[in-house]
Amino acid sequence: MRSGKLSDVELNENVLSLLGKRRKEVLLGAGIGIDCAVLNIDGDLLMTSDPITAKCRAPGSLAIDINANDIYASLGEPIAAEIIILAPISSSTSVIKSIMEDAERRASELNIDIVGGHTEFTDAVSREIVMVTMVGRKIKKLPFNKPKEGDSIIVTKYAAIETSLILAGRMAFDELNSLLTTEELNILGNLGDMLSIKKEAQIILNSEVGAVHDVTEGGIFGAVREMCQGGGFGCIIDENKVPVLTLTKKLCDKFNINPLKSVSSGSMILTASEPEKIIKAFKRKGVSACVIGKITDNKKIIGAGGEEIVNSEKDEIYKIN
């Protein structure tokens, strides 16, 4: 049992020595005695912050993905991240090192530098909490939240990708093997690669779209609600058209969770007047996408049955916390 920050030796061994330097925009990165990173970024600056509080198998890479996705969804390029890890007093430096290795691996894949942060053991938490602040550069300016009545609403990939990984991480190996088929277990093993929306964002840069939003807490319904409320419009959503993997349905059924109302990092929703063009562009790059609804001007979210969808702001994933 211990509390407080890592020693300088521990910090260097378990955090600093793991970090690479990739970006020319980073003039000064993480180091002992360095209070602030120094960045030189031209153009409009994007900033975002999000934590990982749910218990999962790879919180480091997930924290990098969900913050990078915010920047990708704003049609920007993520550049640098700061990471804070709060660990319970029963944890160890090896756990922190594992989180940092996972975060650095994903940051390297996305060409992002981790430039600082904080690590601490504290009795204020009962499990490891990972928080990331990320900065990026705006690449293309769009009149966001400016769809027209009749525009289609498109979703990429599948609902509840992140939820599937979190729920699977809560199950014992034998229990998971008995629930899912061999094929589904293989798909589950590759779901982590679907958590980034970088491909989608790169395609959208060269496409005509209206509103763009990544799907995080609250799931598909939550993202649609936020998009409509933020833009002052409504929509009709056919929930039966939202793609959900069979393995996701099995996991969500086991935990009594609605996959359309649970955290879904890895998916993006957007609006377009010519959906076929952008769906074809997605598919050429290996990204599945489909139309799930249409924009209306009545400022309500209506389901396929004609009734208004009421979506709680609390994500269904919290049922298991």
Task: Check residue 321 and give its pLDDT.
Answer: 63
Largest Cα separation within the chain, whole Å, is 62
In angstroms, the CA 22 to CA 17 distance is: 14
More confident residue, 9 or 313: 9
Give the pLDDT confidence of 223-271 residue by residue, as tens digits. 998 888 878 889 999 999 999 999 999 999 999 999 999 999 999 999 9
Task: Check residue 95 and give its pLDDT.
Answer: 96
Task: Check residue 33 and give its pLDDT.
Answer: 87
DSSP assignment letter at 319: G
> Would the pLDDT of 304 be above 70?
yes
> Would the pLDDT of 215 be above 90?
yes
In angstroms, the CA 117 to CA 218 distance is: 28
DSSP assignment letter at 308: B
Give the pLDDT confidence of 75-104 residue by residue, as tens digits. 899 999 999 999 999 999 999 999 999 999
Task: Check residue 142 and give its pLDDT.
Answer: 62
Task: Check residue 145 and give its pLDDT.
Answer: 61
Give the pLDDT confidence of 129-186 residue by residue, as tens digits. 999 999 999 987 765 567 788 999 999 999 999 999 999 988 998 999 999 999 999 9
Cβ atoms 262, 315 nearer than 8 A: yes
Task: Check residue 83 and give its pLDDT.
Answer: 98
**Region 53-58 average pLDDT:** 84
Helix axes 161-169, 182-190, angle to 10 degrees: 110
Q: Is 183 exposed, middle or buried (0-12, 13-18, 19+ CB in 10 A)?
A: exposed
Task: Check residue 97 and give its pLDDT.
Answer: 97
Task: Check residue 297 and give its pLDDT.
Answer: 87
Cβ atoms 69, 265 nearer than 8 A: yes
Task: Check residue 144 and give its pLDDT.
Answer: 58
Least confident of 26-30, 64-68, 225-229, 245-249: 225-229
Show Cβ contacts of residue 302 under 8 Å, excluding neighbours closer than 6 positions.
234, 235, 236, 237, 296, 308, 309
CB burial of 266-298 (b: ≥16 within 10 Å; e: otherwise) equals bbbbbbbeebeebbebbeeeebebbebbbbbee
> pLDDT confidence of 302, banded at 50, 70, 90?
confident
In angstroms, the CA 74 to CA 68 distance is: 10
- Look at the pTM and tell me if it is higher than 0.85: yes
Order of strands, sheet of 301-302, starting from the edge strand that comes earlier in the sequence = 212-215, 267-272, 152-156, 289-296, 234-237, 301-302
Q: How many CB atoms lie within 10 A of CB 24?
A: 9
Q: Is 54 exposed, middle or buried (0-12, 13-18, 19+ CB in 10 A)?
A: buried
Task: Check residue 135 and give its pLDDT.
Answer: 97
Which of 5-9, 52-56, 130-134 is the most confident on average?
130-134
User: What is the separation of C-alpha 235 from the centre of its chain, rounded to a whole number of angstroms?
Assistant: 24
Least confident of 10-24, 135-149, 152-166, 190-204: 135-149
Task: Check residue 312 and give its pLDDT.
Answer: 65
Token duo for residue 252: 């969500």
In this structure, are strands 76-87 and 152-156 parallel, antiparallel, or unpaired?
Answer: unpaired
Average pLDDT, the chain: 92
